[in-house]
Amino acid sequence: MDYRKEHFVVDGALRDLCVLDARGEDWHRMISALSSSGWEVSFTTTLSDGPASAPGDAEELFRQLLLDAEASATLAILVDGIWFACYFFDKEEIEFTFDPEDVPDETSFESVEKFMKWLGDSCGQPVVMTMEGTDHRSMPVLLEYVPS
């Protein structure tokens, strides 16, 4: 992956890192890998009986979120000064959002690259970076990491 300044222009839109076609085991592997990442992790939820720390079972969290249309959950991971946030929108897509303003140069890009590789290696799935959106499959891919 190479740093391209035009991918991180501050234009009012966030950027998304996505594992498309995610399965329950992808979520499980990603959440399990957090404990050995060494990164600061924050998990919040409005569910009254939701987990207080990172969810151990994403499938159960999605079931709970479906039962309460007003409920939400956020998993935020701090990697070298850049927050990557997952809002559990779709169980078939692991999506982390970040602010391109946090990536002004090649040095800060290394943090994005590190997180993309960690996410892809943890899940065993490709990770794509797109502009912020809801239909990532139809959006141009800005970066892609495919684990070997």
pLDDT digits (tens, 9 = 90+) for 59-101: 888 888 888 888 899 999 999 999 999 999 999 999 999 999 9
Could you tell me if 129 and 144 are in contact, meaning their C-beta atoms sit under 8 angstroms apart? yes
Torsion, Cα 62 65 69 72, to 10 degrees, reads -110
Task: Provide the pLDDT for residue 52.
Answer: 57
pTM attached to this predicted model: 0.92
Three-state SS for 117?
helix
Task: Provide the pLDDT for residue 73.
Answer: 92
Task: Provide the pLDDT for residue 64.
Answer: 85
Q: Are strands 15-20 and 93-98 parallel, antiparallel or unpaired?
A: antiparallel
pLDDT digits (tens, 9 = 90+) for 14-40: 999 999 999 999 999 999 999 899 999
- Which domains does the chain show, CATH number per domain? 5-145 (3.30.310)
Position 51 pLDDT exceeds 60: no
Task: Provide the pLDDT for residue 129.
Answer: 97
pLDDT digits (tens, 9 = 90+) for 105-138: 999 999 999 999 999 999 999 999 999 988 999 9
Three-state SS for 121?
helix
Average pLDDT, the chain: 92
